[in-house]
Structure 1
């Protein structure tokens, strides 16, 4: 069927020339009928055979030429250098040469700009990763001082310093993960994880942030086992904790962060609901909270809103095959559900 389509495409592309050939054959047939009526049938038969032969030969030559041009054009697109450009010109009609050379110049110009941008982006990513590793040194020193010189500072100052350190560590982790979003290889290790233990460990690691905002932590439901990457899941939980502490309403009484573990028997999936009683999200903003850079109306509560935390959560959840669901109303808090995939043993 492919060769039939090639014949049809060829006839359609050069239809005006084939129509002229047929019209010429009809004209000569008419003249033969006028001049040689006694041998008209023989002459018309020869004319039909000749026309069909010429059409078949033309289609064969055109298709063969077209394949050569297509091969040269593919090489030209894969590597738009001057050698492939000249090769394409040699096999193409001379009337197309100016267009081919103009196209080659434009593509090479765009490729040069793209290569420069790739180099700049690579340098930027290397700088960011280098900066992240360098900034961890003073953060480690800060941790060392806070652990060994706590008796030389007041409890309030130490608490504030721990709060600032944890905020900086969270920002560094977000920067590092964002810089690695485009990496081809990601070193995830999927293993059986105790969900409640991961939640409690993450809370413990960021207790100063929660204490600074006065959060009460609640755990609801029985402990469950899931199959996931421990570091990736901890990163998701960290970002959701940061998100809740960022958007706590000023002078809010009894802010609560709730972790509820549920097993859906119908879908055989484990679900973790993480909810707070903060300002919530409006109905029109809710579908976009996982979009990059989106802060919405809720972003006015704080100048710290960047719209990156939940975006990174969505990216990590996608890598770990975790479905996300968000429910909220203004002044009624935000609930984000992590739906873990059902894995057959």
Structure 2
């Protein structure tokens, strides 16, 4: 605690103390005048006043010395980002008031720790349930796909294609839920390695080829045959896949015979940039700054019931944790471009 703060807190004490001193001196002065019919000398009045001031200053100095160390620890706790166990290790409590503060802080910490522990247990149980449920749902989705692939009757082909499309949406939603649950334990499900980013792009395109064909969208990969980046393969696949799924979703709204989605890889001295550009309906200028917010669907999202506002939010979080940058650019009614920037000399993995 700074001295000026200490003195400000004792302004009321100071006013009361000196009011009492002045009142006492005035009473004594009047008593002497009334009884002796003489006026006392000025130094006889100033002397006790000076003694009182010295005593009061000495008391303030002692009180500040006795309490300053304890309050300085409290101030350090407010400004420090150290572990809470270290912060609560308050010593040098010299008064009953200080000991009470320390006991209250310790009790609050214990109660809070117990509640956090209970919350963590419930959260782990919830994550376990989500993971089990997602894995159970994957089985019927796979079975439906197998059944649809075995159907040969042309008269039901349109119906089967429609079922297959909806089944893809279910599969994508399940995968998104699973990754959202895993993201909370990112440090346990993370592996940095050197990967060929173009190979990952080709796998994403191949996994979505049915949807691309169905909507007459043609993918184009622009770049070298092999570009290596340092990242986590599984999480990067999820981000690129999410960008492509969104590109397909909003490109099919455009009434055009042939549509293209371009994957352009540019390797620079300090970074590699993967840009995915579609020829869809674009993003309104007023929505661009909120694309990565959780559950934000925007003007375009209201046009389709498929939009949840979760996919790009997860993609942004994943890129942040991997140390990559995710950028969006768009012109409404013409195109949208998402760029993933892989920095070569940047530390990966942020908890």
Give the TM-score normalised by the residue count of structure 2.
Answer: 0.72
Of the three residues 193, 202, 205, the one matched with 2:204 is 202
Of the three residues 8, 11, 31, the one matched with 1:12 is 8
Q: Show the counterpart of 1:153.
A: 152
Q: Aligned with 1:331: secondary structure?
A: coil
**CA 1:246–1:28 in structure 2 vs 1: closer, same or farther (change >3 Å)?**
same
Name the CA distance, whole Å, in 1 between partners of 2:60 and 2:228.
71
Q: Show the counterpart of 2:321.
A: 319
Q: How does 1:1-345 map to 2 (within 5 A)?
A: 5-6=2-3, 8-25=4-21, 28=25, 31=29, 37=41, 40=43, 44-45=46-47, 47-61=49-63, 64=66, 91=97, 124-143=126-145, 145-146=146-147, 150-154=149-153, 156=157, 162-183=164-185, 185-223=187-225, 224-247=227-250, 248-249=252-253, 251-265=255-269, 268-343=270-345
Q: CA deviation at 1:162?
A: 4.9
**CA 1:344–1:134 in structure 2 vs 1: closer, same or farther (change >3 Å)?**
closer
How many residues are treated as equivalent by the alignment? 319
**CA 1:112–1:205 in structure 2 vs 1: closer, same or farther (change >3 Å)?**
same
Larger mean Cα displacement after TM superposition, 154-163 or 219-228: 154-163
Name the CA distance, whole Å, in 1 between partners of 2:244 and 2:61.
70
Q: Aligned with 1:340: secondary structure?
A: strand
Q: CA deviation at 1:231?
A: 0.6
Name the CA distance, whole Å, in 2 between partners of 1:70 and 1:340.
45
Q: Deviations over 1:179-238 (max 9, x none)?
A: 234336342211111111110011112222222222111111224211111111100011
Q: CA deviation at 1:251?
A: 4.6
Name the CA distance, whole Å, in 2 between partners of 1:344 and 1:16.
56
Larger mean Cα displacement after TM superposition, 20-29 or 235-244: 20-29
Q: CA deviation at 1:61?
A: 3.5
Q: Deviations over 1:126-171 (max 9, x none)?
A: 432221121122234345x35xx94553474765555444332211
Q: CA RMSD in A?
A: 4.5
Give the TM-score normalised by the residue count of structure 1.
Answer: 0.73
Q: Which runs of 5+ in 2 are unaligned?
A: 78-83, 86-95, 99-103
Q: Does the 8 Å contact 1:25/1:51 carry over to 2?
A: no
Q: Show the counterpart of 2:93.
A: none
Q: Does the 8 Å contact 1:193/1:230 carry over to 2?
A: yes
Q: Aligned with 2:286: secondary structure?
A: coil
